[in-house]
């Protein structure tokens, strides 16, 4: 079958989210990002106020990741 065994490339970005101050904030951001097709993994670290996203660049763009964080009510700065 065509495409069998194919793996799409995975990229990783880290954003600084200064207003992420609690578990509720982190959950809101994780939910917004994981709703995007092509997002594989989201890790939010409250201590450093950072969000790391592993995603498929062929399916989702960096701008869409930032927009999703913005739609959740937070400003994302590429770290």
Q: How far is CA 11 from CA 19, 47, 72, 73, in A?
A: 25, 23, 22, 24
pTM of the model: 0.87
**Token code pair at residue 46:** 């409250």
**Domains, in order of start, for the chain:** 11-78 (3.30.70.100)
72 close to 29: Cβ distance less than 8 angstroms: yes
Residue 13: strand, helix, or coil: strand
Residues 7-54 have pLDDT tens digits of 679 999 999 999 999 999 999 999 999 999 999 999 999 999 999 999
Residue 11: strand, helix, or coil: strand
């Amino acid at each position: 079958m065509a495409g069998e065994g194919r793996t799409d490339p995975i990229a990783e970005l880290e954003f600084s989210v200064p207003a992420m101050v609690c578990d509720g904030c982190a959950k809101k951001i994780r939910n917004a990002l994981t709703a995007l097709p092509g997002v594989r993994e989201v890790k939010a670290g409250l201590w450093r106020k950072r969000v790391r996203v592993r995603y498929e660049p062929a399916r989702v763009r960096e701008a869409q990741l930032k927009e999703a964080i913005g739609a959740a009510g937070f400003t994302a700065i590429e770290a």
